Amino acid sequence: YDGVQYGPEHNIQGLKFETKLFWLINAAAGGSLGGSVDWGAFSGDDKSLLIDYIKVEGFNWSTALPRINIANTSDPNAATKLEAETHHAMSGMQAENCVEGGQNLGWIDALPDGTGDWVQWDINVPVEGDWKLEQRNAVNNGGASAGFRVRVDGTQVASGSIPNTGGWQNWATSSTNSFHLTAGNHTLQWQATTSGQNLNWVRLVKQQAASCNDYVKNQGETNIDCGGPCGPCPSCSNGVKDSFDQLDWFESNVDCGGPCPACSGPGAGVGSTLQAESAHPGNQSGTQLENGGTTVGFFDQGDWLRFSGINMSTLNGIRLRAAGANSGGVLQVRSGSLTGLILAEYTMQATGGWTTWAERDVVFTATDSWTSGDLYLIGKSGTGIMNIDYLTLLTKDNSAGGGNGFPVSIPNPSFVSGTSGWSTYFNNGGSFTTVAGGSNNWGRITVPAVTSPAVRWHQQLYQTQVSDGGTYTLKAWFHGTSSPKTIDCFIEMNGGAYTNYALQTVTSTGSSNWVQCNVTSSAIPAGQSFKFGVRGGDTTATYDVDDFELINN
């Protein structure tokens, strides 16, 4: 070598010297192995090529890395990680120390036509089937994503892009779509199609045999029963197993890629329970899974969860199973998008610990008419707002005392006296207890006979502040524990001489017969504290009350 170069040096490493020399020269003219011919490298009418020197260094393949078995012998479906620096062949990349331990490959470049640096491994696939490639990358591409392709035995089987991670050592894991591999020896190649990325490792993961219920399977899920109208599908192929395998609540024209047709079905309706972790992955921001992937935690300001396919046309609230050591954090519920209609805001009350679970009811102050839309839980303020196990979609239950009863605008549908504004007043022998009723409690009140309006306040149940003013309608369901029993529903302004008073007397015909009372007040000024509730009727009575609704007309 005389020190004079005609062009940049091409350093091709790890290539077995099994091909003819002229093929190597032509490949070098293209800039890299596998690249297209760069005709600009030739000169003159005869398109001659100036070669400075060719240096071929020997390599002892008897001491080289053995072919990698991608699964252990005891479990042919297990994944084996392929460290980038332990490749069998590579072009254009350089190894460097990695903050996650060991080394990664960096200085990865690509031409504008998508021909980029590459790394490959000789692998042995133990069983035929569908596989996907997981990879660990850092992308620092001026805010843009970085592209790649995957080849097996020279045939492209997958491609995609990796979002920007914000630094050369900020690592994120992603995966490709599944592709089919036969058992035996193969060459696996990963190639960059854009610059600005590092590679730490890749691994092949065997996909489990798919089984599809309801004709559909959402991306990343197998054996999911959407609870919709679609019939069973006996043989769906190309399924991808989700990390936590949670229920998908909306069937939306999703085809699993096999012989079964796509099917659409209704959104989740009232009474449906949505597991919080079903928002992972892809339908959340900022939160983390806990307790083996069964709950969602680290819910802070700016974080959010999204639940799709929700029927909101009859939805008046949600019931959260939540836990938290802090009070004061605010959860916001929105419809449609992160900036959509605000349905409600809820201020968290501590439960006593991050794994001390309690139901927390969030009453909607606005409603949407969508029969299928997205429901968002958003951290409005606070750090460590709450952990969430699940939420139940609720509305008014016209059967009362059963199912999922829910008040329109009064908190505490579980009917626990002394919380969320509920209170009882007795000075003549009355009593209050809470009765468990499946998923919904109700109140049981024993009161003496009421012979005069002057003592009706003894049976007051609730007192609240009117923020908007106007007329209000009270609805409540009740039944007597023995029949027949009468009861009075009332609304009146607090502290007045029965001002704005409205009263209705209804009669229950049996202990299993729930009856609704409906009473509307005259105008109540804004800012006025007032009380409403029920009082005893014609005799000393024990009766149950449930499902209060207070409606601003």
Instruction: Render pLDDT for 30-67 as a digit per residue (tens, 0 to 9).
Output: 444 444 555 555 555 555 555 555 555 554 444 444 55
Q: Mean pLDDT, to the nearest integer, of 320-341? A: 88
Contact 350, 308 (CB under 8 A): no
Helix (H, G, I), strand (E, B) or coil at 143: coil
State the residue for tokens 């029993």: 485
Higher pLDDT among residues 306 and 65, named by residue: 306
Q: What is the pLDDT of residue 380?
A: 92
Highest mean pLDDT among 35-44, 183-192, 351-360: 183-192
Higher pLDDT among residues 190 and 210, named by residue: 190
Q: What is the pLDDT of residue 448?
A: 63
- Residue 522 pLDDT > 70: yes
Tokens of 502: 């409205």
Q: Mean pLDDT, to the nearest integer, of 254-258? A: 42
State the residue for tokens 């590679």: 199
Q: What is the pLDDT of residue 289?
A: 66
Q: What is the pLDDT of residue 347?
A: 85
Higher pLDDT among residues 502 and 279, named by residue: 502
Contact 470, 523 (CB under 8 A): yes
Q: What is the pLDDT of residue 221?
A: 36
Give me the chain's average pLDDT, please: 65
Highest mean pLDDT among 43-47, 187-191, 205-209, 287-291: 187-191
Count Cα neighbours of 20 within 13 Å in the Cβ-side half-sphere. Answer: 3
Instruction: Please report the domains of the chain, with CATH numbers, ordered by start residue.
Output: 1-64 (no CATH), 65-206 (2.60.120.260), 273-394 (2.60.120.260), 431-552 (2.60.120.260)
Give the whole-angstrom CA distance, residue 250 versus residue 233. 17
Contact 216, 230 (CB under 8 A): yes
Distances (CA, A) of 414 to 34, 206, 375, 436, 550: 69, 47, 23, 9, 16
- Residue 152 pLDDT > 60: yes
Higher pLDDT among residues 5 and 153, named by residue: 153
Contact 69, 123 (CB under 8 A): yes
Give the whole-angstrom CA distance, residue 211 versus residue 245. 12
Q: 264: which strand partners? A: 252
Give the whole-angstrom CA distance, residue 547 versus residue 461. 13
Percentage above 90 pLDDT, the chain: 10
Contact 37, 22 (CB under 8 A): no
> Who's near 98: CB < 8 A, 6+ residues apart?
104, 169, 200
pLDDT in tens, 425-469: 555 566 666 665 544 556 676 666 655 555 544 454 555 555 456
Q: In 3D, which of 530, 488, 528 has the Cα closest to residue 508?
A: 488
Tokens of 426: 């007795």
- Residue 83 pLDDT > 60: yes
Highest mean pLDDT among 101-115, 138-152, 228-242: 138-152
Q: What is the pLDDT of residue 315?
A: 73
Q: In 3D, which of 57, 58, 82 has the Cα closest to residue 68?
A: 82
**pTM for the full model?**
0.33
